[in-house]
Copies of this chain bind each other. A is one copy, B any other.
Amino acid sequence: MTQPVDLVEVWRGDLMECVHQGHAVVCDGSGDVVAAWGDPTALIYPRSSCKMIQALPLVESGARLSDEQLALACASHNGAAIHTDRVNAWLRDLDLTDDAFRCGPQMPNDRTAREGLIKADEAPCQVHNNCSGKHAGFLMLAQHLKAGAEYHEIDHPVQQACKAAFEEVTQEASPTFGIDGCSAPNHACTLHGLAKAMAFFASAQDRSDARSQAAVKLTHAMAKYPELVAGEGRACTELMRAMGGKVSIKTGAEGVFTAIIPEKRLGVAVKIADGATRASECVIAAILVRLGVLNPDHPATQARMMAPITNRRDILTGQIKPVAALHPV
């Protein structure tokens, strides 16, 4: 990895206890870098931050999808009832059951759902996997393509379609791929490429081709249903709500975050070198504030950009904050 720069400081008392380094890029509709911290050429896995790209072939297939389904296809959800009920209904529409998934089971992040499973001595299903909406979309596309059941394999038509879409919107030939937590391939790109892809979504309203139309639908669905994209208490949900549906954002594992800002035709991509979510959330909030689309004083902003660190007795012991280079201009 190319040299990252300091982006986030973690303070306890009057000592900086930790520092998070990384890279961040803001790109316009023509793919030009508007602002950058660290190295835009850093090669990364976008992980779940690129789910809206992976959903493009599904929308382009002409499948009938509600906005809720589109939001779930882009989601890393909490496995709450609002998510699993809708994904299960989607499965039933496809005449499939949980066994058709290839994402694997995951204990839900949602407290009510998790404690419900524990109290019932039940193991989580694959529908509880935070990626089950994306996988429902993969299954739907596989049916449409009349392709086989192993839709997660790299040479399956579904994944080949996802790769083609990924390479087009990032404007890069992906040099390699990794296997994600949900068993789907995740294609590598530069951080600049990921920001270009987000700018493709942000500027899609200006174009009339099928891919751009699909991008508009997905961007709109994410911003319309922020609670389906993540869940109560989560950064994606709370920050999208704070921006009143004008901006779509998406977290990814190992410190990735993306943002689509249609009103400014800007795309944003963030990668924390050490993979820390507390840092990627701080950086994306700081950049959205700098770009004038997120209120710095909103509680959801403060909770990420200037996150208090409290202890087991709720005593304030420290704070997470962006470096000066990320402060509002």
Interface window among A31-39, A70-78, A181-189: A181-189
The interface bits of chain A over 167-182 (1 if a CB of B lies within 8 angstroms of the residue's CB, else 0) are 0000000001111111
A254 to B311, CA, bound (A): 14
B178 touches A313 (CB 8 A): no
Q: Is A300 an interface position by the 8 A CB rule?
A: no
Q: Given that A15-B178, A17-B254, A115-B118 are contacting pairs, would A10 and B275 also be in contact in the complex, using a CB cutoff of 8 Å?
A: yes
Q: How far is the CB of A188 from chain B (nearest CB, A)?
A: 5
B312 touches A176 (CB 8 A): no
A325 to B68, CA, bound (A): 50
Q: Give the residues in chain B near A312, CB-CB below 8 Å.
A: 103-106, 129, 181-183
* Chain A facing B: main interface SS: loop
A18 touches B275 (CB 8 A): yes
Q: Looking at A104, A177, A179, A314, which has the most chain B CB atoms within 10 Å of its CB?
A: A179
Q: Given that A1-B19, A118-B115, A119-B119 are contacting pairs, would A311 and B179 also be in contact in the complex, using a CB cutoff of 8 Å?
A: yes
The interface bits of chain A over 245-257 (1 if a CB of B lies within 8 angstroms of the residue's CB, else 0) are 0000000001100
Q: Given that A115-B118, A179-B311 are contacting pairs, would A274 and B13 also be in contact in the complex, using a CB cutoff of 8 Å?
A: no
Q: Give the residues in chain B near A274, CB-CB below 8 Å.
A: 18-21, 274, 276, 279
Q: From residue 11 to 28 of chain A, which have CB atoms closer than 8 A to chain B? A: 12-21
B15 touches A45 (CB 8 A): yes
Q: Give the residues in chain B near A105, CB-CB below 8 Å.
A: 312
Q: Is A161 an interface position by the 8 A CB rule?
A: no
Q: Give the residues in chain B near A288, CB-CB below 8 Å.
A: none
Pick from B15, B188, B273: contact of A15, CB under 8 Å? B188
Interface CB pairs A-B, < 8 A, 17 = A1-B19, A12-B178, A13-B178, A14-B176, A15-B188, A17-B44, A18-B275, A19-B273, A19-B274, A21-B21, A104-B314, A119-B119, A129-B312, A179-B317, A180-B311, A182-B311, A182-B312
